[in-house]
Amino acid sequence: MSSMISVSGLRKSFGDHEVLQGIDLSVAEREVVAVIGPSGSGKSTLLRCINRLESPDAGSVVVDGVDVTAPGVDLDRVRTTMGMVFQSFNLFPHKTALGNVTLALRRVLRLRPDVADERGRTMLTRVGLAGREGAYPAQLSGGQQQRVAIARALAMEPKVMLFDEVTSALDPELVGEVLEVMRDLAQGGMTMVVVTHEMGFAREVCDRVMFMDGGVVVEEGPPAELFGAPREARTKSFLSKVL
């Protein structure tokens, strides 16, 4: 399979603190990769560099054949190929679920309102929110708001989805409904990079798991290997605390 995401020698510092210390990562088309590790290990910064919310200090990121770190790259166009969902839902409180999903379709893709609305309704149905198109964020549970955020990203028809700890702000009973949507996406062949604390999801759904600590990739491999027989002492220590 061809590589959908290729990260090479990625470095990023904030002040004197080097958060990413030369990360290499390749994600094949249709592959689902989980990124796990302690807080502050650089996981979220890696995702933010992949979609250029942060500018790397060194290294390159190629997504679907486009070097997104190249000077003069059209970032707006690049980001239409990558959907990103965050820990916080980032919904506009004054817009309905449908209004949140269709905003970028109208403003970025310049779709006609009727076409945008039809696609928006389709995406809300896809994440299990048929009939809630007219609801405002305050009328939705946290899990429903996060599913609106996923629908909004999917509406742009991205080739890659990036998930940054999307369940960590949810009440425990709401986590499952969001993970179920992500599981369906994975089964449908979406290329995904998932920063997560949900080890069961990483073990069951992902093709590969990458353990990061201190800005480096300590270890990676198939879930059965990494969870069942980790090679590195640091990985064993981390998993002993979270499993």
pLDDT at res. 79: 85
Name the pTM for this structure: 0.95
pLDDT at res. 13: 97
Mean of the per-residue pLDDT values of the chain:
95
As a whole number, mean pLDDT of residues 213-217 equals 96
Q: How many CB atoms lie within 10 A of CB 224?
A: 10
Residue 1 pLDDT > 70: no
Q: 80 pLDDT band (50/70/90 cuts)?
A: confident
The predicted-structure confidence for 53-69, as pLDDT tens digits, reads as follows: 999 999 999 999 999 99
- Judged by average pLDDT, the poorest of 164-173, 187-196, 200-209 is 164-173
The predicted-structure confidence for 119-142, as pLDDT tens digits, reads as follows: 999 999 999 999 999 999 999 999
pLDDT at res. 218: 97
- In 141-179, which positions are buried (b, 16+ CB within 10 angstroms) versus exposed (e)? ebbbbbbbbbbbbbbbebebbbbbbbbeebeeebbebbb
Q: 150 pLDDT band (50/70/90 cuts)?
A: very high
171 — phi, psi (to 5°)?
-60, 145
Measure the CA–CA gap between 41 and 239, rounded to whole angstroms. 15
pLDDT at res. 124: 97
pLDDT at res. 32: 98
Residue 34 pLDDT > 70: yes
- In 38-72, which positions are buried (b, 16+ CB within 10 angstroms) versus exposed (e)? beebbbbbbbbbbbbbbebeebebbbbeeebbeee
